Each structure stands twice: as structure tokens, then as C-alpha cells.
A and B are shown apart, each in its own frame.
Chain A
Amino acid sequence: MSAMQNTIRIDRQEIPFTPGQTIMDAALAAKVYIPHLCHYPGLPPSGNCRLCVVEIENRSVAACTTPAAADQTIRSNTPELNEARKALTQMLFVEGDHICPSCEKTGNCKLQAMAYYLGMLDDHFPQFYQRREIDASHPDILLDHRRCILCDLCVRASREVDGKNVFAIVGRGTKTHLIVNSPGGKLANSPIATTDLAATICPVGAILIKQQGYQVPIGQRIYDQHTIRETSLQEHIADCDKLKRKEHQDIER
């Protein structure tokens, strides 16, 4: 097999891939950023947020779930696609209650960082104002459903990495919501622990570790200093311990 056969082209850049890799895998390995929220390298992809939409010929596909194939010509960083990504981000904003200034996650939140990255200046769409609950039953971990973007990362992290299956997403349409897989459905009755990946992977302020609020001042948080593009090119599950340590160091600092 010639080398040519194992490359894809993203926005005119030749990128190598190995069979079995998705477009996202290949792009990230080559340090090419495709915006994403529900993808985390090392976890199986889901394909729900659609931020990673790219175009192959005239078809739009999710980069995180589409296998890379020889000679694919892919458009990603185009004004049209970035406009679509911005609109999808706005959709996620209005669906939940994302009042950033009053959220402890502000500055560390990927949804907010994505909005910055895509130049989102307003919500554009009307707010849903859905009634959703807060589960404060657990002594160390807070679950605020109002901010959940249904990205499924905690579900996959708990199942695939922590081996606990603490979370699930259920319901249909706009009634889709996260549940805790425990009798009574409360986090306190689940085996989740603060050291679990599921407790820290949430991209937004839906799952928060308690007793840590505001230890890092606003202005010195991750996305106050880096773009989501920069941080996303760094992350991988194998590094997540490192990541956690780094966050702890940040906190201590």
C-alpha cells in the first residue's frame, strides 16, 4: 500500500491516518483542531453535539464518528461550517440555563470557551427555561441538571473508565435528561467518587466537585488563558490523571 492511500485531506492539508481511525482521531493526532464538545480522545465517540461537523463532497458528517478513508477531501475550517457550529452552540446555550457569570465553572467551561472561540455574541434563539433539578445529595459532588448539555461524556467515562455505570441519558426529544443509575436516582446512593473520571470530565458546570468553588479566581482559569483549540489539542484519556493533577495544582496555586 502506498503512503498516498493512507492520507486524508482536511482543508487542503494532507493528514496521515491508520485504518480504524476516525477523521477526528487523525486530525487530532496531526494537531489539526476540529471543534468538538462531546468527544474526548480515548473514550468511544458518541456523535451527539454535532460541533465537529465537516463536509465531504456535499455531505455533512460528524468527524468524531466517521471513519477516515483514503483520499477523503474534507472541509472543516470554513466560514459556513463555523457559522453552523456557532448556531449549534447557541442552541445548547438556550436549551439549558447557562448564566455564565453566576456559574462556578465560568472560565473552565468548554461550552463557554467554544462560544468565545466561535465568536458567539448572543444567544440568538429564545431561551427554553426548562424546569430541571439540582441533585445536591452527594457530600462531595453536585449535579446541576440545568446546565447539562447531554453530551454523554460522564456516561461513557463512568462506564468505560471508572467501571461503574453511574449515569445514563434517558427520555425523548426535549424531555431527554441525565439520570443516576441508583435506586431513588440520587447521586448519594451511587458509587461515584471525586477521583472518578466521570466526576471531572463534565465540559460544563453540570457536575461540580464541592468545597472547591472559586479557589482559582476568575480571570486565572483555563480559558482565561488558553483557547479551547489549544487545550483540546492536548487532551487524552491516558493523560487524564495528569490533567487532574494539573487542575489540582492550578487550584493549589
Chain B
Amino acid sequence: MTNSCQHNSFNLPQEHLLHRLHALQQEYLHISPQAMQQVAAEFNLPLSQVAGVVAFYSFFSAQPCGRFHILFSNCTSCGYLPDGQNLMQLLAQQLQVNPGKTRADGLISIGETSCIGLCDQGASLLVNGIPLTHLNPDKITQIAQQITANISTDKWPAEWFEIHDTIYRRNLLLTTQLAPGSALQQAITHGAAETLTTIQQSGLNGRGGAGFNTSKKWQLCREAPGDAHYVICNADEGEPGTFKDRVLLRHHAEALFEGMTICAFIIGANKGSIYLRGEYRYLLSHLQAVLTQRRKHGLLGRHILNHADFHFDIDIVVGAGAYICGEESALIESLEGKPGIPRIRPPFPVTHGYLGQPTVVNNVETLIAAAHIVAHGSSWFNSVGTQKSTGTKILSVSGDCLSPGIYEYPFGVRIQQILGDCGAQRVQAVQLGGPAGKLIGAPDFNHTISFEDISTGGSFLIFGHQRDLLTVHRNFAHFFAHESCGFCTPCRVGTQLLKSNLDKIAEGHGTTNDIETLKQLAFLIQHHSHCGLGHTAANHVLDGLQHFPQVFAAHLNQHFVAQFDLDQALESARQITRRDDATAHLD
């Protein structure tokens, strides 16, 4: 048998529960009850914790996957439905397999997964964890042939796996490469307190979404008592339409590690972690190589830059397919080898984070910006941008435009300008900050990207005039229903109801009453959920109802329609009685 997994030997250090489970999944294509028991014994954990982790994360399965396991992205930008085609169905037909079910011979399984962060690369998929981009019907046919011939992925044409990062606009962060150690040397020379002041003066706010002031976060953590302090880089980048961290991890890893090390120096941490989303496993070897280099150069490890008592190192933990693990407290749970259920806050991670100790969690871009600020000074940074939003924002632009890719702009840039720069024409709507963010139409294109106007973690999704926005809303609603962690009632049940309500409207069974239900559900989810996922999951519906009411109204039925199809409900009875004649149907 050809081992299609060889291409895919990620060689994760096995001491982390997630990594041990990744290895089992890779080798045996599933994690059996026996394997769970064995792992529970190895890690000295209750069986229920191991079972809980396997059940929580999308990339672990209790049922065997195929030797070729293909996951199509279902994002509106890198998803499998480009231009009215259904590439997943096409491949499934050619390989005679039903999506979600492994083929009887165990060769192939096909499924879908939330955005894999390849929105600038066309329709994309992961085959045994490796991304394959620029899909079209021809390529699908060729993939089917490779699989049918049982050719392992390492022998597939290499260009299929190429990812071309295109940076269209560079500003502060993307113009300069930081010389390794240069910022860190500055920090050590000036001392922790002064370095923190520099960051404070720069006005840097977090780039991961919430926009919390970075120096304040570091200060709170620095002052919090604890046995140990930790710095964590949030590289979960799960918001559909965001891929700027992918590009930063690939091309600016030195600056990222430098930023983490400076943070460690300021808060007094000896250990840092990068929580890398499972979809980005292919970046692991590159990141590890950079870490090794830095250890060699005395920038990590003991006595960093010959400092008598500054010791710090970084490990990488690879997630396993769960958007909620981007939420900082869920991320910490996941790092601790648990399902990613957001914690009760307060206490916040800065005082009670990883292993209950003071912890800083920052986005990739934030940490890179911090390193540059320390190297170049606070005015280098805050002379760009607006007064309340200093510096630049790196945007992941995708959707209906000529030049999808990375754009770095000073804060305060107008949305109209971005649309012009990326060659977007006849734009109907822009979704800023991903499905959790804000949906706007043309009248709002004169707004700016900034914390005081419209803020975004990086996602900039463009929908042209030909797009059916209801399909977009359905896509987002399915995303949240799939990614809700299931902990609290309004989000667990509410996102399901929102999804089925939108499906119902799209299928032509909705009435005006369903619009009221949509509003009621959106309000409940937004106000009464436990965490940020729920608080933002219905934003798109409320924005849509406000700015694009006709999108919903156009699908409404004037007359009452039953919630379910009565005739369809008799289908199981027909199957049992093996009847399909006219009288076995309602009309």
C-alpha cells in the first residue's frame, strides 16, 4: 500500500495531548476507543477528557477517515462553490463517495471544513492536511485520477501545492525586515520599564479583533503575582477571510519571535507558546527552523544575549480545527489539553491564564508591531495612522476583486480606496472583520478602517453585484452553528435556529413572521451568550436586515407555508412499506 501520509509527516513533539492525538489520527486515520484509553493512561488523564478532546476538534475523528482525506474549505472566498460550480460534489461523483462518509474500501473520504485561510488562492482544499489551491473542474478531475490510481500525495505535481503570497501594499511593518536580535538588544539595553513605556507611547492596540491596548495588557500581566508568567501568540487565525497571519508567519517569523521575547523580558516569562491553527500545520517546519536558528544565535534559551538572568524559550502547539480556540481563554484551555470552552471571565488571562498563571495572549501582527516599535521607536509608529488608531493595519483582501492578497494601510484608510486598489468593481457589499464583523453596503464605503470607525481583525471580504447575499448569510450562519462550542444555550441552540431559519427563507418557505424570529434570535444570541463568539455570531443577520432588507424580503412567501414538507415526512414510511405509488404520496 502506498502511504499517502508520508507527504504529511509533521513530526510534532509528542508530549502535548493534541500532538499525540494528531499522530494517532495520522497513523490510524481515526482515534479508536482503545487508543483513547491508552492515551488517557499515558497522560494520566480521565478517559472523559481524552474523549472530550477527540469529540471537540474537527480534525480528530472516532470513525476511520479515508487514506486520502480531503477537506474542502467552505469559505465564501476559498470555498468549493466558485462561480456557481460545486467542486466538492464534482470530486465526490468522480470518486463515487458521499461527502462525510468514508468510501467502503477506505481509500477516500471527502468533507468540508471552515475557511482554511487561503482566500487569496482561489478555491482550496486540504488533502491529508496539506493545502491544494486554485481548484477548478479540470484539476478536480486530475485529483480524482491520482486518487483512483492510489498515487501518494508526495508524487502529485508539486505546483498543485504552491502558495503564492502576494503583498500589494507595504507600509511600516512589511517594508522592513527586522535584523534578528536588533529590537531585543534595544529592550535589554533600555530595560523592561523603559521598553514598556516606548510601547505605551506608540499607542499600539491589539490587532486580533478586540483592540485592547497592548502596553496595558503587558503592564497588568507584569504586575500580576504568580509562580510563572507566560506569553502566548495567538496564531489561530480562524476568522473566515483572514490570511494575513499566514503570510506573516511565513515571511516575518523572526520579528514575531522577537516580539514574543521582548514581551517575555517585560512580563518576566520563561516560556512562550505559539498556538498555530491546525490548518497551518504546513508552516510548522519553517517556524521550527527559525526557532532553531534563534537558539543558535543566543536569542532564545538560557542567558539570552548574554543577559545574566533572562532565559526564555518558545514552543509551538498545533490546534485541531476549532474556530473558538482563537478566543483567548478557549485557546488557553486548548493549550492545557482540554476542549476549547471559553472560561468564565473575570479573572482574565493577564492574572489567571495558562495553568492559572499571569499570561499575555497577543495576535501575530501585534507582536510583530511591538518588535518594530522597540527597534524603531514609538514616533516611527504613531506618526502613521490616526490619533486613536496608531500605526498600520494589515488586511487580507479577498472575494470579488482583481487582486486578492495582502494590503498594509495606515489606519484611517477609506474603504473606497481599498476597493479601488484591489480592483473591485460594482461592489454590492463588504464584510469587514469576517462573519463576526460588520456588513456594509455602498453608502458606507466612505467610512474608514480604524478602532474609532470600523475595525477589523484583518478580514476584508468583497461581494460583487452578482452575489446572492442570502447565500452569504446562510454560509455565515452555518459557520457559526458549526463552530459554536456548545457550552451555553443561546449560542448552542440559537445558532442552529438561526441557520435553519435562514435555510427556510432561502428555500422559499419563509414568511414575514420568520423575519421577526430572525431578529429575536439575533438579539438573544448577541446579548445573552457566554463569550465573544455568541456576541458576534448574529451581527451579519442584523446588518443584513438593516442594510439589505430586500435580500430577505425577495424570498418571502405571502401565504402560510408549513414548517416541514408533509409529503417528505412520509418518506420513511414509504421506504419501510416499499411503496412509491401515487397513493403513497399526498398529492
Contacts and interface: CB of A to CB of B under 8 A. Distances in A.
A170 B344 contact: no
A60 B527 contact: yes
Contact of B500 (A53, A88, A126, A175): A126
B61 interface: no
A173 B483 contact: yes
B530 A88 contact: no
A6 interface: no
Contacts of A126: 497, 500, 563-564
A47 B346 CA distance: 13
Question: Which of the four size classes fits the interface of chain B?
Answer: 35 or more
Interface stretch (A23-31, A89-97, A225-233): A89-97
B484 A173 contact: yes
B493 A48 contact: no
Interface residues of A, number: 37
B344 A181 contact: no
Nearest to B482: A173
A128 interface: yes
A47 B492 contact: no
Given A67-B346, A88-B524, A176 B493 contact: no
Contact of B529 (A50, A165, A171): A50
Contacts of B56: 170-172
Nearest to A53: B528
Contacts of A49: 488-489
Nearest to A67: B346
B55 A95 contact: no
A42 interface: no
Contact of A94 (B51, B488, B493, B495): B493
If over half of B's interface residues share one DSSP class (helix, strand or loop), that class is named, otherwise mixed; here it is helix
B219 interface: no
B527 A92 contact: no
A91 B481 contact: no
A181 B486 contact: no
B488 A176 contact: no
B497 A170 contact: no
Nearest to B340: A172
Interface in B312-347: 322, 339, 344, 346
Nearest to A85: B528
A214 interface: no
28 contacts: A48-B487, A48-B488, A49-B489, A53-B528, A60-B528, A65-B344, A67-B346, A84-B524, A84-B527, A87-B520, A88-B489, A125-B517, A126-B500, A168-B46, A168-B48, A168-B49, A169-B52, A170-B48, A170-B52, A172-B322, A172-B339, A172-B486, A174-B481, A179-B51, A179-B52, A181-B48, A183-B37, A183-B47
- 9 residue pairs, one from A and one from B, having the closest CB atoms: A176-B486, A168-B48, A170-B52, A91-B493, A181-B48, A170-B55, A171-B55, A173-B484, A65-B344
Interface of A: 45, 47-51, 53, 60, 62, 65, 67, 84, 87-88, 91-92, 94-95, 125-126, 128, 150, 165, 167-176, 179, 181-183
Given A168-B49, A181-B47, 5 more contacts: A92-B493, A94-B493, A95-B493, A170-B56, A176-B487
